[in-house]
Amino acid sequence: MSPTAASLRLGLIGNCTISALVDDRARIVWSCMPRFDSTPVFHALMDSADGIGADGSAQVQLEGCVRTEQAYDENTAVLRTRLYDDRGGAIEVTDFAPRFFRHGRPVRPMLLVRRVRPLQGVPRIRLQVRPSGDWGRATLARTRGSNHLRFVGCGDGLTLRLTTDAPITYLLDETAFSLNRPISLLLGADEPVEAVIEDHARQLEEQTVQYWRLWTRSLAIPLEWQDAVIRAAITLKMCLYEETGAIVAAMTTSIPEAPGSARNWDYRFCWLRDAFFVVRALNTLSESGTMEDYLRWMWDAIGQVAGGHIQPLYGIGLESQLPEQVLEHLGGYRGHRPVRVGNQAAEHFQHDVYGNIVLGAAQSFHDRRLLRPGTRHEFELLEAVGERAYAIHAEPDAGMWELRTRARVHTSSVLMNWAACDRLAKIAASFGLAERAALWQARAEGIRHKVLTQSWSESRQAFAESFGGRELDASVLLMAEVGMIDPMDPRFVATVDALEATLCDGPYMRRYEAPDDFGLPETSFNICAFWRIDALARIGRREQAREIFEALLAVRNPLGLLSEDTHPVTGEMWGNFPQTYSMVGIINAAQRLSARWDTRAPCRSSARPRCR
């Protein structure tokens, strides 16, 4: 099988503690331990332009490989890759991160499990396990045991232990050998495995499969596009760092938004904006556990600022300092530099964050299913957030697109300040606090009037991206989604028309029309295309919305995952991966557009090939 360039034809495995990206040749090319935002132990994705570099990766190489197949076990995060050689031999590689319940509590160890078994013929394989330290700058010490290797000096001072029943000598020397029985490799904390390795790996697999299938069974999915929704939901769940409750925007850093654009950012942190959209999407599927986990993190995040400025993002351990630096020694994804670690956006003033906080917490005050519903004390914390939202609602900020050199009164930011006041009024009413409800409602009405008058551009016949501006921005589509305006209002319908004429390339949609810090945007921002779908459905153009949705589903990778951006000409994925915003869009669009369960409409499964 000839080498190919690095791509985002990747599968995500994870267990809400760690994750890894596996390509369609069974190469683990990215994994951070012990946290999503740690220094990677596998970093080849960021330093292997041709896609074949072994350093910073884990590989199972099949001699004479001519083709591969890859698929998830149905309704799970267990990934299987099949490789076929030119002599009739074949192997199957199963990858997963164990996750299951024991004594009523989730078990999610820092552990990657790889099981390799022969399928047919006499396949010959070579095992390569080359973790990295300090982004490839450190040489790791290796020590050997009877059935394990230790890698000393991995990222963040970590020592990893690889426990295996494969021949240690062949593994150390990367010698090819005939695979005539199943073997297992367990890579994780430097702790001994007392059980029989094959039995232990099989048991972990069975327990992990059972966990995900039981979790999936509890989802309230729509009739149509079920496979797409289930895959999106599992992916979003894996982006939860369960120990703290933080939700990362993506698992990677520095995959450029467009080739050669230098729009390379680190997304391995928790944006309050993105987390709200994740929580809301999973809530529509009746998966409220992620919201309860996230709210633990969120209450701590806002509690530590005592009513003051709230950053748009924090580290998954509530770190407020995320200094941005460039790693000059790395070649970048496909050779597209720079590789950045940290994110300067943590220093921004992005005023929509206050509305996203209130929106993210609002359901907890009304949902009677929750183990821990919102309390009066937490309402008081939210009111402090609302006070801040109201105080700064008409002040310039960097906006939700995190512009680094320009500040304006962005319509989307003021919209979310309105949402904060509107939802606080509803929460106050649920507690019987009539005076507080009236106060917040009056404030909401005042902000709403400003948005509807000051963001309207008569010359463009559309709501503009900023007060008094005339440039167009897809984020104003959220006006109907969060309930500020009736979607059938002629001004909103006209805005949808104007945005389609200016920002859309077929089914794809760019964020805005004006040049930013790096020039004109080149690629489609996937979540904007999904906002467009929602708006079209709300104004009665459901068939057009369905056509666009099918087109967006068609550009997912073979495993059903999306990154942040899509190139409108090539249909290729760009941007960090997998992007929670984009996976959220799949769920929201399917929920909005699907036929009801009591109809006789055909089920659109968007099924993916399975390894059999």
pLDDT at 612: 35
pLDDT at 208: 98
User: pLDDT > 90: what percent of the chain?
Assistant: 88
pLDDT at 608: 47
How many CB atoms sit inside 10 A of residue 281's CB? 24
Predicted confidence band of residue 604 (pLDDT cuts 50, 70, 90): low
Q: b or e along 111-130 (b: 16 or more beta carbons within 10 Å of the residue's beta carbon)? A: bbbbbbbbeeeebbbbbebb
Q: Are 353 and 277 in contact (CB under 8 A)?
A: no
Judged against a pLDDT cut of 60, whether residue 603 lies above it is answered with: no
pLDDT at 611: 46
| 10/557 Cα distance (integer angstroms) | 8
Q: Are 301 and 558 in contact (CB under 8 A)?
A: no
Judged against a pLDDT cut of 80, whether residue 405 lies above it is answered with: no
- The DSSP code for 40 is E
In three-state secondary structure terms, 573 is strand
Q: Average of pLDDT values for 2-8?
A: 73
CA distances from 577 to 30, 236, 282, 336 (A): 11, 12, 19, 15
Residue 549, C-beta contacts closer than 8 angstroms, at least 6 positions apart = 225, 533, 589, 590, 593
Judged against a pLDDT cut of 90, whether residue 203 lies above it is answered with: yes
* Mean model confidence pLDDT for the chain: 94
Q: Average of pLDDT values for 108-124?
A: 97
- Residue 161 in tokens: 């232990």
User: pLDDT > 70: what percent of the chain?
Assistant: 96
In three-state secondary structure terms, 30 is strand
Q: What is the pTM of this model?
A: 0.96
pLDDT at 230: 98
- Per residue in 297-318, pLDDT (tens digit) is 999 999 888 778 999 999 999 9
- Strand 325-326 vs strand 340-341: parallel, antiparallel, or unpaired? antiparallel
Paired with 95 in beta bridges are 79, 114
Residue in the block written with tokens 């006070």? 387
| 21/129 Cα distance (integer angstroms) | 15
- Per residue in 577-591, pLDDT (tens digit) is 999 999 999 999 999
- The lowest-confidence range among 181-190, 338-347, 368-377, 429-438 is 368-377
Secondary structure (DSSP) of 247-264: E-S-S-B---SSTT----
Residue 481, C-beta contacts closer than 8 angstroms, at least 6 positions apart = 531, 534, 535
| 526/548 Cα distance (integer angstroms) | 12
pLDDT at 1: 52
Judged against a pLDDT cut of 60, whether residue 602 lies above it is answered with: no
Residue 342, C-beta contacts closer than 8 angstroms, at least 6 positions apart = 266, 322, 323, 324, 325
- The DSSP code for 474 is G
Q: Average of pLDDT values for 250-266?
A: 95
pLDDT at 154: 87
- Per residue in 481-507, pLDDT (tens digit) is 999 999 999 999 999 999 999 999 999
Closest among 83, 81, 65 to 23, alpha carbons compared: 81
Predicted confidence band of residue 292 (pLDDT cuts 50, 70, 90): very high
H or E element at residue 23: strand 19-23
Predicted confidence band of residue 371 (pLDDT cuts 50, 70, 90): confident
Q: Are 584 and 213 in contact (CB under 8 A)?
A: no
Q: Dihedral (C-alpha) 263, 267, 269, 270: value to the nearest 10 degrees?
A: 90
Query: How many residues are recorded in the chain?
Result: 612
H or E element at residue 11: strand 10-14
Q: 442-447 contacts: CB < 8 A, separation 24 or more?
A: 443/390, 444/418, 447/390, 447/393, 447/414, 447/417, 447/418, 447/421
Judged against a pLDDT cut of 70, whether residue 340 lies above it is answered with: yes
Judged against a pLDDT cut of 90, whether residue 609 lies above it is answered with: no
Predicted confidence band of residue 346 (pLDDT cuts 50, 70, 90): very high
pLDDT at 402: 79
HEC letters along 124-171: EEEEEEECCECCCCECCEEEECCCEEEEEEEHHHEEEEEEECCCHHHH
Judged against a pLDDT cut of 60, whether residue 270 lies above it is answered with: yes
pLDDT at 601: 55
Q: Average of pLDDT values for 391-420?
A: 92
- Per residue in 353-366, pLDDT (tens digit) is 999 999 999 999 99
Q: Are 452 and 390 in contact (CB under 8 A)?
A: no
Predicted confidence band of residue 521 (pLDDT cuts 50, 70, 90): confident
